[in-house]
Amino acid sequence: MANKRSLKKAIHAICNELLTECVAASLYGDHAQAENAEALMATIIKTQANSMARVSHPEPGMSPRKYYNDLRSKFAAQASEIVDHINNL
């Protein structure tokens, strides 16, 4: 990513897509799946908030490049896990 603004936009876009897929899965699934989807939507919102906060306030003592690469890899892992949960709905 070139700067914090583009990283925040990418995180926001990915989380919006995940929420959209989760809502679609809950609408076309059973009632029991809708409850799981609501919990998954809360997880997506928390992930987005935590990632945005981490972008805005980097940890002191770490080089910026290492910090943001770590942030991107952890967010990608969380997004991948959420996608797996959506596929299982």
pLDDT along the chain (89 residues), means of 10: 86 96 86 84 95 89 90 95 91
The pTM (predicted TM-score) of the whole model is 0.88
Quote the DSSP letter at residue 82. H
pLDDT at 85: 92
For 31-66, letters b (16+ CB in 10 Å) and e give eebeebbeebbebbeebbeebbebbeeeeeeeeeee
Confidence at residue 1, expressed as pLDDT on a 0 to 100 scale: 53
Contacts of residue 83, defined as CB under 8 A and 6 or more positions apart, other chains included, come to 18, 21
Alpha-carbon distance of 19 to 43, in angstroms, equals 10
Ramachandran class of 59: left when φ > 0, alpha when ψ lies in -120 to 50, beta otherwise: beta
